[in-house]
Every structure is written in C-alpha cells, then in structure tokens.
C-alpha cells in the first residue's frame, strides 16, 4: 500500500459518524430526488433512510429546506502549485474549492515543472493529501514538456494516477504527432482532453467581431476553434481514441460535436460557467476580468452553448479556475493574463440554467457530478451506499452578492463582482470529513 493510500485510509478511519437529516437528496446517478436521510461513517456512505443498527451519529446536520447532492467535480482547475504560489497554492485553492461545494478537481499538466513524469504526479497527490481539502486528480502531458513534438510516457503516467492526458493550451501543430498521440492513448484506454484552437488564428484576445473592432482589440475568429475541432475529429475517427473537448465557445463548435456524437464517435465536451452567462458585450470598456481563452463570443453562441448543455451534447460545466495576482489584470486589456477565479461561483452560475433553459435541478447537478465522474472514470459523483462520503449541501433559495474581497481563492479576478446569485453552499464533506461550513452552520 502506498504512503498516499495509507494516509487516505487513516483519515477516513478517523472520520466522525454523521447523519444528514430532513434534506432533499438529489443523486442523478441513481435517479433519486426525494427527502431522505443519509448516514456517513469511516469516510463512506453507509445508509440512506433509516440508520443502521448500533449506529450513533457524532454529528447531526439538519438540512431542512436544503439540497443534499454528491460533492461537485470540476474538470478544469489550476492550483498554481508548484511554481506559481504567489497566485495560489494547493492549500488556498482547495479551500476555495470546498467553499464552492467541490470535493474533487482535475488539474491540467501546465505546471512548472510540467506533469510529464511519475514523480510530478506523486508530488502533487502527496501535497494534496497533506495540505489540501479537496481530492486532486491530474492530467498528464500529451507530449514531453508540452512542446508538441515527442510523446510522453502516457502509460506510465496513467499507472502513476493520471486520469487522462492533454497538451493543455499548447498546440500540437503536427497532424502526424497528434495522430500518434491518439493511437497511443487508444491502445491504453486513456482519454485525451483537447483544447481545440488553431495557433495561427488565435493571436488575439477577444472574439473577432463588432466589439473587438470597436475597441481596437486583435480578434480570435470562431474558425480558430472549429478548424482545430474538425481536424481532431477526423483523427479520432481514424484512431478510435476517446476524447473530451474542453471549453467549447461557439455555436459552430457545438454543431460539430453534436454531429460527431450522432455519428458514434467516443467524444464528450464541456463548457465554462462564465461562457454560459457572459458575452463579448460584457467586455464593456476593456474590463480585463472578461479576458478569457477561448474568448467570450456572441449572444447567438451563448444561446447555442446553453442549448448544448440542456440537450446533453455538452455533458459537463466547469469553472476553468485560474487565480491570478492583482497586477495580472492591471495592464491594458490585450496585455493582461487570461482567466478568471471561478470555482466559488461555479454552482450558482450552473443553477441559473434552471431559469435560463428550463433545465431540472437534477440535470444541472448531473453536469457537475455524475457526468464529470464518468468522463474521468471515477467512482465519485454518486451518493450510493458504499461510495466515498463526498457530499455537498446547499440552500437553493439563498441569495448572495459576489464580493471579490471575500473570495477564499488568492485570485480575486472575477467578472461577477457585484452580481447577486442564488444558491449557497452550507456544508461540504469530503471522505466523511466536514471540510467547509458557513459561519451560521459551523457550530
């Protein structure tokens, strides 16, 4: 048994017995949506409904008028550690994650050093186990040092614990290299996470259109995304590899993914919460907090993304959490760092899809739990008896105002400052341990 496994087992064994009562339990994986109690012990879910014989809860949580669901799983989350600790650390960013109800997150390999060897995988996992509050899963580098030339040892990295592979925001310019990478991944049943963009068309900072022209900003056309998606879909069909497309941003991208899924290709896709609620118009007068990649696009694109989430073409909603230091957003728009600090607003922004698209709350929760777990091939994302006791409890009717100064993340770079959102996490439980409680519920 590894040191990490031993540490996890020891923590779970010392977890208190917890009963969560009077709440509405929603578990999309088991198609459960009803008021029922749930009981946790030794880091596992041991019963739904009545407690087992000889069970004595050390902690009782009254979840009246609240929703109990599996802990959220965020497919795209940058911890900033190692090497970028001034922006964030495993300790600070997992604290922000559990405040947002996230109990498991997936970290891309563009750290420093790059996650392209087993030692780096083990280092991050060990630090997460000892310093973090959420479970941390890693994606391996698709190519060595993310340079897009030589393939990484994907099988070795999978054996070390990586749940997939990606070249992150670094383009694989050679079609032959991408083909070989997909073939290698397919031979070892590894999912390839693809951030689709054409590097020669992506030398900009905003959507290419009326707004970028008016502001004098270099534009990134929709074709930068669709050309790359079209190429990779052809290679996926050729190799049979499983792939997940990250951060769709345009109506045409959704159309391409839907057609490929209809044709039977083994692909899935996600979208960021901010692309569901912001457009190029929100840049206003050069608001650098709206500088993201891929860029915010048109209202028509946003409508297509929302419809894609509702229909299931887009199966997951992610935060793409990227905390930045304050000075990273103080330069002229084009010179600022792209990305937002998004994990603490992930749940309420996802819940806005209930009113925006008429989705059921169960379907929204599925996009944050069951579906991400399926993509990563994890056992999490469910409240089944015997599953890890990863639980999020939230008040769906609680209104709160986003205040960047109160974010727990070191990154205060949010475009949602001042927004009034509905849906507030009250408790987060990871492996049977209460890792977050609001002040009114802390005692």
Phi, psi of 74 (to 5 degrees): -105, 115
Q: How far apart are CA 232 and CA 359, in angstroms?
A: 31
Which residue in 168, 170, 174 sits closest to 149, CA to CA?
174
320 belongs to the catalytic site? yes
Q: How far is CA 339 from CA 202, 279, 434, in A?
A: 16, 15, 30
Exposed, middle or buried by CB within 10 Å (0-12, 13-18, 19+), for 30?
A: middle
Question: 384: helix, coil or strand?
Answer: coil
Q: Which two tokens stand for residue 136?
A: 């941390």
**Could you tell me how many residues make up the chain?**
443
Angstrom distance (rounded) from CA 414 to CA 53: 48
Cβ atoms of residues 409 and 88 within 8 Å = yes
Q: Are 206 and 219 in contact (CB under 8 A)?
A: yes
- State both tokens at 252: 């045409």
Exactly one of 232, 270, 320, 390 is catalytic; which is it?
320
Question: DSSP character for 115?
Answer: S
CB neighbours of residue 350 within 10 Å: 24
Residue 78 and residue 107 in contact, taking contact as beta carbons nearer than 8 Å: yes
Residues 6+ positions from 276 with CB-CB distance below 8 Å = 302, 305, 306, 309, 317, 349, 350, 352, 353, 356
**Residue that is written with structure tokens 């190429």 in the block:** 231
250, 237 contact by CB (below 8 A): no
Question: What DSSP letter does each residue of 3-67 carry, written as one string?
Answer: HHHHHHHHHHHTPPPEEEES-EEEEGGGTEEEE--EEEETTEEEEESSPPTT---SEEEE-TT-E
DSSP 139: P
Q: Which residues are catalytic?
A: 320
């Amino acid at each position: 048994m590894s040191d990490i496994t031993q540490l996890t087992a020891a923590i779970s064994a010392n977890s208190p017995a917890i009963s969560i009562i009077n709440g509405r339990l929603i578990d999309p994986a088991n198609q459960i949506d009803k008021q029922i109690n749930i009981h946790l012990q030794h880091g596992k879910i041991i019963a739904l409904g009545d407690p087992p014989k000889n069970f004595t809860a050390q902690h009782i949580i009254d979840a009246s008028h609240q929703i109990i669901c599996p802990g959220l799983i965020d497919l795209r989350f940058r911890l900033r550690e190692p090497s970028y600790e001034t922006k964030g650390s495993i300790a600070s960013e997992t604290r922000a994650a559990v405040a947002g109800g996230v109990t498991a997150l997936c970290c891309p390999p563009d750290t420093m050093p790059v996650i392209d060897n087993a030692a780096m995988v083990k280092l991050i996992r060990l630090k997460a186990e000892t310093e973090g509050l959420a479970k941390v899963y890693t994606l391996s580098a698709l190519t060595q040092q993310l340079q897009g030339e030589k393939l990484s040892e994907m099988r070795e990295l999978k054996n070390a614990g990586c749940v997939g592979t990606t070249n992150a925001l670094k383009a694989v310019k050679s079609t032959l290299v991408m083909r070989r990478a997909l073939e290698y991944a397919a031979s070892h049943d590894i999912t390839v996470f693809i951030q689709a963009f054409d590097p020669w068309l992506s030398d900009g900072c905003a959507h290419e259109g009326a707004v970028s022209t008016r502001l004098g900003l270099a534009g990134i056309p929709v074709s930068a995304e669709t050309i790359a998606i079209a190429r990779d879909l052809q290679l996926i069909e050729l190799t049979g590899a499983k792939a997940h497309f990250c951060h769709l941003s345009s109506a045409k991208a959704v159309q391409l993914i839907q057609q490929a899924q209809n044709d039977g290709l083994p692909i899935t896709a996600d979208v960021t919460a901010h692309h569901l609620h912001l457009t190029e118009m929100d840049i206003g007068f050069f608001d650098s907090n709206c500088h993201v990649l891929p860029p915010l696009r048109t209202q028509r694109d946003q409508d297509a993304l929302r419809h894609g989430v509702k229909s299931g073409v887009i199966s997951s909603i992610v935060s793409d959490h990227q905390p930045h230091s304050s000075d990273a957003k103080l330069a002229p728009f084009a010179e600022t760092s792209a990305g937002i600090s998004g994990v603490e607003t992930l749940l309420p922004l996802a819940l806005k899809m209930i009113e925006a698209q008429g989705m059921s709350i169960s379907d929204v929760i599925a996009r944050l739990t069951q579906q991400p777990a399926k993509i990563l091939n994890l056992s999490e994302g469910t409240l089944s008896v015997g599953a890890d006791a990863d639980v999020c409890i939230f008040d769906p009717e609680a209104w709160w105002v986003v205040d960047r100064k109160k974010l727990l993340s070191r990154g205060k770079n949010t475009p949602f400052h001042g927004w009034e959102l509905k849906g507030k996490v009250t408790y987060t439980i990871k492996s049977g341990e209460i890792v977050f409680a609001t002040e009114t519920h802390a005692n």
